[in-house]
């Protein structure tokens, strides 16, 4: 196990991502943040707080559950029933600049599912993808607009994001 980001580095990455998002989106009145359950949700909340501090105004934040949009939902290899949770977006996504947040971008399948789910909720002005870790191995032509840390990880290795809210500590490790 190798730690690639510790608690302080995660905080620094989120601060840098917030700065880049602000500088590249001049129309901040339409800016909202939506996290993909479950670690993307936590990171979205943190990013929304960073953006709110930097802008001096509240940046709305929501949570998106993509379970029913996954392309492996009815896979014959899957034996467990999927756990469908709620999407919690307390605002209209139409005409918003959505910063979609996830912890790790790998194959692109989760992001594809999230895009389908968002489009079912309305017609955003734009959707920008922000991820904490961007790793090689894409199966879909999807790339992050904002990536905190890029790494080349062997196909058999796992990038694990641990966050205080769900795991009791902040760190990103390669296993």
**Residues 98 and 32: beta-carbon distance below 8 Å:** yes
Between CA 51 and CA 107 the distance in angstroms is 28
- Cα angle, residue 167 at apex, residues 79 and 11 outer, rounded to 5°: 125
Q: Which pLDDT score is estimated for 154?
A: 86
Task: State which residues of the chain have pLDDT below 50.
Answer: none
Query: What pLDDT was estimated at residue 71?
Result: 73
Task: Look at residue 27 in the predicted model and tell me its pLDDT.
Answer: 83
Instruction: Report whether CATH 3.40.50.2000 matches the domain 9-69+86-150.
Output: no
pLDDT score at 77 = 59
Structural contact between residues 1 and 157, judged by C-beta atoms closer than 8 angstroms: no
Instruction: Answer for the pair 63, 44: CB distance below 8 angstroms, yes or no.
Output: yes
């Amino acid at each position: 196990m190798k730690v690639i980001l510790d608690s302080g580095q995660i905080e620094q990455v989120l601060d840098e991502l917030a700065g880049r998002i602000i500088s590249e989106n001049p129309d901040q009145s339409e800016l909202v943040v939506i996290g993909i359950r479950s670690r993307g949700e936590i990171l979205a909340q943190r990013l929304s707080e960073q953006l709110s501090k930097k802008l001096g105004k509240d940046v709305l934040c929501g949570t998106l559950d993509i379970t029913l949009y996954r392309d492996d939902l009815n896979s014959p290899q899957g034996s467990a029933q999927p756990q469908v949770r709620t999407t919690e977006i307390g605002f209209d996504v139409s005409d918003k600049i959505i910063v979609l947040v996830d912890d790790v971008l790998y194959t692109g399948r989760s992001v594809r599912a999230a895009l389908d789910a968002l489009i079912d909720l309305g017609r955003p002005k734009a959707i920008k993808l922000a991820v904490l870790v961007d790793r090689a191995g894409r199966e879909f032509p999807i790339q992050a607009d904002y990536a905190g840390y890029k790494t080349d990880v062997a196909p058999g290795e796992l990038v694990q994001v641990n966050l205080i809210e769900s795991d009791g500590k902040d760190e990103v490790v390669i296993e």
